[in-house]
Structure 1
Amino acid sequence: MNTRWYCTDCETEIDREEIDDHESDGHHVRGVLRPERLLSNDPWTFGNEADDDR
């Protein structure tokens, strides 16, 4: 997973180490998680396609 942190008050991306500083100043911090690889909407479909290649 990749994690990015944003301070919505400063409107900037911040490092994880800066979260406490921003929150102690009363700022709102938001985190966004993104998987390293994206899966299809229906993982079972991918399995069926793999079976068709035989």
Structure 2
Amino acid sequence: MNTRWYCTDCETEIDREEIDDHESEGHHVKGMLRPERLLSNDPWTLGNEVSDEQ
């Protein structure tokens, strides 16, 4: 997973080490998680494709 942190008060992306500094100033910090690889739109179709090959 990739994690990105944003300070909504500064409207900038921040490093993980800067979270405490921003929060101590009363800023709101928001984290966004993104998987390293994306799954197909319908994960159930992948299961059907695998079972059809056998």
For normalisation by structure 1, the TM-score amounts to 0.84
Which amino acid in structure 2 is aligned with residue 17 of structure 1? Answer: E
**Identity rate of aligned residues, in percent?**
85
Determine the C-alpha separation between the residues in 1 that align with 2:44 and 2:32: 27
The equivalent residue for 1:32 is 32
For normalisation by structure 2, the TM-score amounts to 0.84
Number of matched residues?
54
Which amino acid in structure 1 is aligned with residue 4 of structure 2? Answer: R
Runs of at least 5 residues in structure 1 that lack an aligned partner in the other structure: none
**Root mean square deviation, CA, Å:** 1.5
